Amino acid sequence: MPALEELEGAYRDSRSDADFHRELLQLQKTYIGRPTPLYFAERLTEKLGGARIYLKREDLAHTGAHKINNAIGQALLARRMNKKRLIAETGAGQHGVATATGAALTGLECDIYMGSEDIARQSLNVFRMRLLGARVIEVSTGSRTLKDAINEGLRDWTTNVRTTHYVMGTVFGPHPFPMMVRDFQSVIGREAKKQIIRAEGRAPDYLIACVGGGSNAMGLFYDFLGHEEVKMVGVEAAGRGVYTGEHAARFAGGSIGVLQGTKSYLLQDDDGNVLGTHSVSAGLDYASVGPEHAFLRDKGRVEYTFANDEEALEAFELLSRMEGIIPALESAHAIAEAAKLAPKLGRDKIIIVNLSGRGDKDVQQVARIKGIEL
């Protein structure tokens, strides 16, 4: 608790500090490469034969995913708090890479916790983190995925709290993390709003984003929440199907619970133990979901649906072939939903899909699934 209070205080101070803002803006522009483009996916739109589909190209941000927006923000904050070391959890490895990058940029030490199952399926990102000077610590307890990496990260933070800042990678965990990560990611929606108005002269009809912890979705949605005409869809991972028990669809298959300092929808058994999850995408393979998503769902502001492994893999190939963009398997879940929704809408409708990351990291795994030896 004292660490969370310290963090909240430091974060609030940073928000009213013009120098902090200036540095963050400068890095967004010259280091991350913001604003990322809003791209009209013309061939995909034609192929689906319905709504006009725009892609918010977070895959073009430095390190290849939206995770960098938050990691750089928190790295600057950690330096401001005089912390010597950054730690983080990672599922797909994107947040680990982003945090290792932030640590290299600010000259801080860095340790990344990653489940052994995720290390096996995301070996490219493991090597990237090491190249960036981070230590990757294997977590082989529990389900050996993201949830357990967060457990270990929080245990480390509890132990080394005086010198270490824990860079939570998503809109989850105890306050102030969900708020802080949302704020750092909300640049996505702020840019997209300006860009779509420039391109189409109006707000979009739909926003679609995948939801693991929910940071890319919250980043896109947040600035549009006040625009009631904009409908929003969050896409969870249905894994092998929501009725198989092997999925990560918390809204479809979970109930309210408390995990890792957060009250939200949770996949749990009748005794309150957390259930195992499955998704082809490591970044969505998580038993709970950011609490603000739970709020938006219960309020009816955002609709949450799901795409299964097979649909995500199809979307992965669809976008690669139609647009020459290989999406991350996480983002492919959002593309899968767009492929279902767009044909049902008129050609005058506009959809923005958050292309949260690029798929280079997933190429080996997809080849493996398809039985192709590289």
Partner 1 sequence: MTRIGKTLKVLHDDLRKAFIPYIMAGDPDLRRTAELVDVLEDCGADIVELGVPFSDPLADGPTIQKAAQRALQNGVTLSSVIELVAKIREKTQIPIILMTYYNPVFKYGEERFVSDASSAGADGVIVPDLPPDEAGGLIRHARKAHFDTIFLLAPTSTDNRIRKVAKASAGFVYYVSMTGITGSKLSMDLSIESHIRKIREASEKPVAVGFGVSTPEEAAAVARFADGVIVGSAIVKRVGGSESDLRKYLLSLRKAIP
Q: Which residues bind partner 1 (CB under 8 A)?
A: 1-3, 5, 141-142, 147-148, 151, 154-155, 158-162, 257-261, 266, 268, 270-274
Catalytic residue, chosen from 215, 231, 356, 361, is 356
The secondary structure element, H or E, covering residue 94 is: helix 94-106
* Terminal Cα-to-Cα distance of the chain (whole angstroms): 48
The tokens for 36 are 């990322």
Backbone φ and ψ for 159, nearest 5 degrees, come out as -75, -40
Spatial CA neighbour of 221 closest among 273, 293, 142:
293
Task: Given the residues 67, 83, 147, 193, select the one marked as catalytic.
Answer: 67
Region label for 255, one of left (φ > 0), alpha (ψ between -120 and 50) or beta (otherwise): beta
Residue 356 appears among annotated catalytic residues: yes
**Quick one: 302 exposed, middle or buried, by C-beta within 10 A (0-12, 13-18, 19+)?**
buried
8 is catalytic: no
Angle in degrees, 0-180, between the axes of helices 2-15 and 177-185, rounded to the nearest 10: 30
Closest CB to partner 1 among residues 82, 159:
159
CA distance 185 to 211: 14
User: The tokens 């009748």 sit on which residue?
Assistant: 270
Closest CA to 146 of 238, 273, 274, 254: 274
Q: Which helix (H) or strand (E) holds 220?
A: helix 215-221
Whether 67 sits among the annotated catalytic residues: the reply is yes
Which residues are annotated as catalytic?
A: 67, 89, 356
